[in-house]
Structure formats: structure tokens, C-alpha cells
Structure 1
């Protein structure tokens, strides 16, 4: 299992911890922590004397996100508080008509369900499709009809970890003139993502999972050709075209995706996220994904060889993500989760089982220790 020497420097994880929770909240790399400390010291000793530097860093961050998403331009990138905010911009911004339908799966995280359910008062119906069959994309496509205004789907489902063929879904949407919205929070930063190749109109992700950044800052990609279809729901000084001209009384929304950024930016989080993204870009997303696949394969093989363990995540390579969810027969999963937590295995309880989510830098030693903790927990709980 490949382990670059730099990774242990960037992630000096407490040796008593096995961190397998990147699908929830990730640790920061050392460079992000150092960037925040330096920014805090700068504020403490200089205040905002060098605010122009902060503005330049914001432009750098937009460029980093443009690269990760392969967006056509920095102007397609909005910096938002979180995935929910970006999804709400789409849900609240489109001009819905009674009878319109939104299509999604029955496995979505509430962030990609509640904004659409909230449209019921406007006569919009949310249609959910089961993904358990042999062809989940085919099931979604088959559910499309002349009333389907938008397909909104997670690139990777948060509980099962199933990875969908977004390119196929994007082609289906484009051929039907259906808008395509991708909640990319469980894939961006874990595997390569290309908004142009996927033909998506909207894509969004928070920074605190696979992107290794802080909570409170995420990205919203909005395709230029559909940007004007979204009416604005928030207004302020930062979203106008002539930003910085505070004496001008007339205004218009920014031509870029900055129109979705109403007020003051989260400069603290920008410093951290920019540092974290540079680590991913320096490593290369293909290399990140290759290393992550090694770790997921190792866990799938190790868990699959143990009796009474059912792997709930897809085992086929083309369906795998960074998530491995499993359950143990005859063991209360809540008690199993608590036992693992007390032994230092940081993970989550999702989808009727235990969800482990390593990242590219996770060491084999950490995986082996987590597996040993699991064996110990099963032994204790099985008695």
C-alpha cells in the first residue's frame, strides 16, 4: 500500500486514533492548520491592514476549485456556506410551475431532499427512485417524463457509498432538456470530478469532508448558460457587479456566480481551504483516487474474509467510493459503534451499519488497528 512520506507530516494523527470518518468531518492537513494560525496572528498584530492579500487569496481559491471541478471559468464558481445553501439557491431560484417534478433517489442525505420537499406548496412533486436494482441509472432515467424539470442526485450516496455513472445521467438529462444537479460532497476531493464531461448544470460540495477543509465554506458551480434561470434570494454588497463602489446607488447582480455571495466572505475558512486544496492538487486527483481505492479494497477484502460481516457498500470496483459500510450479524450496531469509538476508531453509524471512510493518506497500520478493534468489539459483544 503506497504511503508518501509527506502524508505523515501533513497528517500527524494521534496514534491512539484510527480516523475513518472523512465522509463526515475530516482532519485538516498541517498546512491548513498553519495557514489559520498565521492568519490569526496577522489579525492579532495587524488587523486588516493587508486586506488586498486576502482578496488575492480568494481569487486563488476560486482557481483551485475551478481546477478540481474542471469548470470553464473562475466566474462559474461561487463560494457558499455549505451544500445546503447551494442546493437551496437552485430549489428556491427556479421558476417552478404547478405539476413540475423533481427526480431524485430514495437514499439522499436530507440536504438533497428537504429543499425540494419544501416546493410542495408551489405544486412541485418530488419523485424518489430506488437505487437497489442492478441498473440504478436506468431506473432514474426510466422515471423521467415530460414533467421532470430537474434531476438532483448525489454523486456518491452517503450511507451505502454507491457511486453513480453521472456521465450517463448527464447525457440523459441533456437529451431531454432536463436540468441536472449533482450533490458532489461525497466525491469532490476523493476522486476526479469534471462538470463539463458530466454535463451538469449545478454542482455543489462542502469543504469539510474529502476536501479536508473547515466547516462553513463550500463551492457552488453554476453553468453559465443557466445562471440567469435562477432568481436571487439573497442580496448584499458583495453580489453586485460593481463591487467595492459603495457610493453607487444603482446596481445589478454580478455577471459571474459571485451573484450568489450576498455579504462578507469567510476569510478565515478561505485560508484553510485553499491550503488543503493545494495539497490535493499537488498530490494529483488521479493519485488521490488510486491511493484511496487501495485502502478501500484492503478494507473490503479484510472485512469480507471475516465471518458474520455483511458489507453493505458496493463491492464492484466501478461502484465503489471512499465509503465502506458494513454490519455484523447478531451484534447490535449501536453497541458496536460505541465500542469502536471507545477504542479510538473514529467512524459513523449510517445505513443500518458502521461506515468507515479512509482517505488517500490513511496508513495501513491505522486500517489494521481498526480491524483489530473491530475483532475485539465483536468478541466482547458476542459473548
Structure 2
């Protein structure tokens, strides 16, 4: 297997001592990202107040994320987390007598269910589509989304087993029913190509700490511009206002587009990190990253099965992402042991998740699976 981006490995210092296969939880820290964090820290020491520079970086990061997903900058809000984004959207939706149903799935991250069940206006009209072995067929959306569905929430990629959904196909179903489509792209943005216009996504959220190679504290919310202008956020703040009303305590006028969903001062340090991370991803090229990770995913699948591992998730390559889940009764303990051996993976319930990025090699994959197989197949803990 060729490695088209081998020169980028030197940008990730931790790779000299660790095999980092946990991008579904936290991407490896790149030198440009680390330097951006240091720059922000040093600028506070040197200047005492770097507000204007920091706000400029927010705008630059907004532009980079817009480029990543094929959106306009005014369609992007800079928030603190995907939970923040989902909550903000939930609180802004109009409660209508005949359009009052919310649909999500059991493969969504738990925060999605927590937020919707907390909404008094919708809690009695919530439908959760249940997967079969972690997989949802398009026919299930066709059946359970109805003419009174206001919004449908789905993950692009399941955090549990890497199941990748066909967003364009689901968008067709959702929109034919009259529903809005909200996509959680936390497990896809940064390694799978996304074009919100071509995919016909109405709303999308993603954070920077996973495949986007940043740190916690920054997330982005995309809302189609025409839709954003129709929504009235109940979670807002001074940065979500038109400049003319930002400092007027008695007057409120929402900013244009998705910016109206912004609240208070963002986490500048993570914005600086996020900007450099996005810049790195775009310079490598998401198409190149996706192609390379498809090869690594195939290696994980075939070599893992050869070593007797039980791989959870779709068998069809078309519906698999590079996130691969392997069944293990003691997943948490195995994660701990592998970390002691300088192999970083991520456990969820009864699965060990292997999630490579463009900086990983086939040799690292083979070594990690060899060590994992020893533990899963009866090795001593």
C-alpha cells in the first residue's frame, strides 16, 4: 500500500512514540496546531488583550469550515460544542400544530436524544428510528418520516460502528416528506468529503477535536441561509446580534444568517487551534484523505478478520467509514492496556474502535491489530 502523505507524519510529534488510532475521539496534535495554541497564549502575555486579533481568527476559521463543507461564510455559526449546536436549533424551532414531530435514530450520539426529550414542545411527538445491528436502511426513513415531521436528525457516520449513511438518498426522502434534515457530521468532517449544497443538507454540526484535528471548545453550525433567516433563536447573545444592537440592552436584532445562533465570547484558544487544523486538512485535501483511509479501512477489515476478530458494523464497503469497531467484552480494559503499549484506540461499551487518519501507516494498523488480537483472543491482561 502506497502512502501518499508520508511527509506529513513529521508534523505530528506524538507519532514518534505512539500509534494514534483514536481520531473518532481525539485527533493527534499537529505542530501547526500546537504552535497556534502557544501563539494565542504568548499574545496574551505580550499584548495583555488580543481581542481584535482573536475575532479576526474566528472569522478566518469560519471561512475555512465553510470551504470544507461547500457553504457560504454567513451560513456558519461558531459555537462551543455540537451539544450547543443541537440545543440552539431545538430551541429555535417553531411549535406548529400540524408539523410537530421530531425524528432521530438510536445510532445518534446520546446527546441528541437528551436534548430532544428535554424540549417540552416536542417531547410527546418524538420518534426514534431503531437500527438493526447498528444499521438503518433507507426504507426505515421512508416509513417513519411522515407529513407532520418538522425535523429529522441523523448522523453522517455512526460513532458506535462506523456505519456511513447515504446523505443524499436520505435527503430526498426527508424533503419529499416536508421535513428538514439535520446532519451530525462530527464523525465525518475532516476525512469524508461533504458538500452541503449537493447533499441538500439543511443543518449540519461538527466539532474540531476529532477528525478535524483541533481541541475541545469549538464547533461549527451550518444552517442553509434561507432557513436561518426564518428561525428565531432563544439561545442567543451579543455576538448573535446585528452590530447596531449588540450594545443596546433594550433592543435586539438578530444577525444575518447562521451568525444569529452565536452567543458570547468563543473559546479563542481552540479557535486558533481549529483554524490551523482546518488549514492543514484543506492543504492535504479531503478527497486524498478519504481515498487513503478507504485503503486503511479495507486493511483493518480483512486483516482483523484474518486474526479472528469480530468486526461490528456493515459488511458492505459502500456503507463503511474508516472507523472500525471490534467486539470485545472488556473493551475499556483493552483500551487501557493498549495505551500502556503506546497504542491509542477508543472503547465504547463492548467495542474497541480503531479510527486512523491520514498520518497513519499500514504497518501501524497491522501492529495494532496483532496486539489487539492477543488480548481479545484470550491473551493475558
Is the shorter-chain TM-score for this pair beyond 0.5, marking a shared fold?
A: yes
| Deviation, structure 1 residue 43 | 1.2
| Deviation, structure 1 residue 64 | 0.6
Q: Is the 8 A contact 2:335 2:344 kept in 1?
A: no
| Deviation, structure 1 residue 121 | 5.7
Please show how residues 172-191 of structure 1 align to structure 2 within 5 Å: 172-191=173-192
Partners of 1:252 and 1:135 lie apart in 2 by: 41
| Deviation, structure 1 residue 368 | 2.4
**Structure 1 residues 249, 150: closer, same or farther in 2, change over 3 A?**
closer
Higher alpha-carbon deviation: 128-137 or 83-92:
128-137
Q: Is 1:91 paired with 2:94?
A: no
1:313 maps to what in 2? Answer: 313
| Deviation, structure 1 residue 151 | 0.9
| Deviation, structure 1 residue 363 | 2.0
| 1:307-339 Cα shifts (integer Å, max 9, x gaps) | 2x21102232211112100125xx644443343
| Deviation, structure 1 residue 3 | 4.4
2:303 maps to what in 1? Answer: 302
Q: Is the 8 A contact 2:101 2:150 kept in 1?
A: yes
Higher alpha-carbon deviation: 337-346 or 312-321:
337-346
Partners of 1:126 and 1:341 lie apart in 2 by: 40
Higher alpha-carbon deviation: 214-223 or 249-258:
249-258
Partners of 2:53 and 2:119 lie apart in 1 by: 41
| Deviation, structure 1 residue 303 | 0.1
| 1:150-172 Cα shifts (integer Å, max 9, x gaps) | 11000011001100011011112
| 1:318-363 Cα shifts (integer Å, max 9, x gaps) | 11112100125xx644443343233222112225321111111112
Partners of 1:69 and 1:375 lie apart in 2 by: 37
2:77 maps to what in 1? Answer: 78
Q: Is the 8 A contact 1:22 1:210 kept in 2?
A: yes
Higher alpha-carbon deviation: 290-299 or 14-23:
14-23
The TM-score with structure 1 as length reference comes to 0.91
Q: Is the 8 A contact 2:162 2:313 kept in 1?
A: yes
Partners of 2:244 and 2:374 lie apart in 1 by: 59
**Structure 1 residues 317, 284: closer, same or farther in 2, change over 3 A?**
same
Partners of 2:244 and 2:338 lie apart in 1 by: 51
| Deviation, structure 1 residue 246 | 3.8
| Deviation, structure 1 residue 235 | 3.6
Q: Is 1:285 paired with 2:283?
A: no
Please show how residues 318-357 of structure 1 align to structure 2 within 5 Å: 318-327=318-327, 332-350=330-348, 352-357=350-355
Partners of 2:332 and 2:64 lie apart in 1 by: 39
Q: Is the 8 A contact 1:3 1:363 kept in 2?
A: no
| 1:125-161 Cα shifts (integer Å, max 9, x gaps) | 2212223288612211211112222110000110011
Please show how residues 24-173 of structure 1 align to structure 2 within 5 Å: 24-48=25-49, 51-71=51-71, 73-97=72-96, 100-120=100-120, 122=122, 124-132=124-132, 136-173=137-174
Q: Is the 8 A contact 2:9 2:15 kept in 1?
A: no
Gaps of 5+ in 2: none
Partners of 1:337 and 1:300 lie apart in 2 by: 19
| Deviation, structure 1 residue 209 | 0.6
Higher alpha-carbon deviation: 38-47 or 14-23:
14-23
Partners of 1:164 and 1:114 lie apart in 2 by: 22
Partners of 2:359 and 2:91 lie apart in 1 by: 39
Q: Is the 8 A contact 2:58 2:78 kept in 1?
A: no
| 3-state SS of 2:270 partner | helix
RMSD: 2.3
Runs of 4+ in structure 1 off by over 4 angstroms are 120-123
| Deviation, structure 1 residue 270 | 1.3
Q: Is the 8 A contact 2:68 2:194 kept in 1?
A: yes
Please show how residues 141-290 of structure 1 align to structure 2 within 5 Å: 141-242=142-243, 246=247, 250-290=251-291
Partners of 1:254 and 1:121 lie apart in 2 by: 25
